[in-house]
Amino acid sequence: MLRSLFAAVSGMQNMQTKIDVIGNNIANVNTTGFKYARVKFQDMLSQTLRGASAPQQGRGGINPSQVGLGMVLGSIDNIHTQGSLQPTGRPEDLAIQGNGFFVVSDGSRVFYTRDGSFSRGSDGDLVNAATGMKVLGWTAASDGTIDPTGPVGPINIPLGEKTIAKATENIVFMYNLDANAAVNDTHSVSVDVYDSLGVRHTLTFTFKKGTNPNEWTWDVTGGTDAGTIDKPTDTTLKFNMDGSLESPTTPPEIKFTPTNPNAAEVSIKLNFRAVTQLAAPSTLDYKYQDGFPPGELEGFTIGSDGVISGTYSNGLVRNLGQIALAAFGNPEGLLKAGDNLYQITSNSGEPRIGTPGTQGRGTIQTATLEMSNVDLARELTEMIITSRAFQANSRVVTTSDEILQELINLKR
């Protein structure tokens, strides 16, 4: 009878623990990135009343006889299945599609989270506004290159604060030179190019019809601020009989050093592959040049690979950084630290930090948040079952008490 009492008490105690877990799951049904917990029970040590015996002398074997002493809590597992994705329209809101965690830090400790409700802090760093934790990743170099093999750190997005320019490196020409032009006829094109400081320089290209009917020569001049322009010794454009360009097959290069001593030398490749010589008026012009004047950072976008691309007022787009993700061999071994954060444990394994979409890490969905993976219908069903189990265990206690009462009454 005492055994039944203790068994029932253990059942009531552990059913209460399960109700606590269910209550926490239901409370977090709308918590961003929350992962529900599952309770597993195990039977307690059983008391052996009779051991087992093997078959012998024509008689069959006998099974052991045991009385269980109740149940114990086996484990409380955090189930890291994917939560549903909810569009928010905020470019700073991020969700992970697949495995992995965002890496955040308070400056001294590192945590991991699936909660991607981020924003720009007052210093321009990408942070979780609710906790102040800074999102970690890699900052791009001045030319926009990113090295994901280096150490991670805070990512800064200096909207309205960062100004950059780009020196012209390529000019692409297109359209036609008149095949019927007379010898020494010319056609001029003006192109605005930029040096390393974003200063504009106007270069004038002059094309002259040669004595050979399929040849033109070109020359380039600039203003006094461009200094002397160095050009190749051979400045001839040769055309095939069908009007397509025969040579040069590789873009020739011109160089000039601006008179401003703070500006670097400008080296520009000239691409003539789209130029033709047909019996039509000369319309040769440049298609584009890839330099930009100074521009301020106006906006940014985040790709599925975590790369943050900044958009500048001069039309330039350049990488600002890349968000890192961490993967674990056993994510269920992570320890909940509150505020939607996790810490590593000896059973979670060390974090494998890298770029999204590589080595089993998921991809990033922009303007989206991952919702809780709590299934309310399942939790309510579990709550009913657990409540009935608690009620049944309580009945065992009252029944055992009644039997003990009858036993005591035998003395009367």
Give the CA count within 13 Å in the CB-facing half-sphere of 136: 23
- pTM across the whole model: 0.80
Tell which residue, 139, 163, 132, 129, has the closest CA to residue 306. 139
- Count the Cβ atoms, other than its own, within 10 Å of residue 356: 25
Tell which residue, 171, 346, 187, has the closest CA to residue 274. 171
* CB-based burial label for 161 (10 Å; 0-12, 13-18, 19+): exposed
Question: In this structure, are residues 111 and 342 in contact, taking their beta carbons and an 8 Å threshold?
Answer: yes
Tell which residue, 143, 82, 45, 15, has the closest CA to residue 365. 82
* DSSP-based three-state secondary structure for 331: helix
Pairwise CA distance, residues 283 & 175, whole Å: 6
- Count the Cβ atoms, other than its own, within 10 Å of residue 36: 23
Would you list the DSSP string of 228-287?
Answer: PEE--S--EEEE-TTS-EEE-SS--EEEE--SSTTSPPEEEEEEEEEEEEESS----EEE
Pairwise CA distance, residues 7 & 11, whole Å: 6
DSSP 8-state secondary structure symbol assigned to residue 213: T
Question: In this structure, are residues 140 and 322 in contact, taking their beta carbons and an 8 Å threshold?
Answer: yes
Ramachandran category for residue 347: left, alpha or beta (phi over 0 → left; psi -120 to 50 → alpha)? alpha
Per-residue pLDDT of the chain (412 residues; tens, 9 = 90+): 577 888 888 889 999 999 999 999 999 999 999 999 999 998 887 777 888 888 888 888 888 888 878 888 999 999 999 999 999 999 999 999 999 999 999 999 999 999 999 999 989 999 998 899 999 999 999 888 999 999 999 999 999 888 889 999 999 999 999 999 999 999 999 999 999 999 999 999 999 999 998 999 999 999 888 778 999 999 999 999 999 999 999 999 999 999 888 999 999 999 999 999 999 999 999 999 999 999 999 999 999 999 999 999 998 899 999 999 999 999 999 999 999 999 999 999 999 999 999 999 999 999 999 999 999 999 999 999 999 999 998 888 888 878 888 788 887 6
pLDDT at position 208, please?
97
Question: In this structure, are residues 312 and 318 in contact, taking their beta carbons and an 8 Å threshold?
Answer: yes
Q: How far is CA 403 from CA 3, 55, 130, 400, 411, in A?
A: 13, 38, 57, 5, 14
Pairwise CA distance, residues 102 & 355, whole Å: 11
Question: In this structure, are residues 387 and 186 in contact, taking their beta carbons and an 8 Å threshold?
Answer: no
Pairwise CA distance, residues 41 & 44, whole Å: 9
Contacts of 73 (CB under 8 A, 6+ apart): 14, 17, 39, 40, 41, 42
Vertex 49, ends 44 and 52: CA angle to 5°? 100
How are beta strands 352-354 and 325-327 bridged, if at all? antiparallel
Measured in degrees and rounded to the nearest 5, phi and psi for residue 332 equal -70, -10
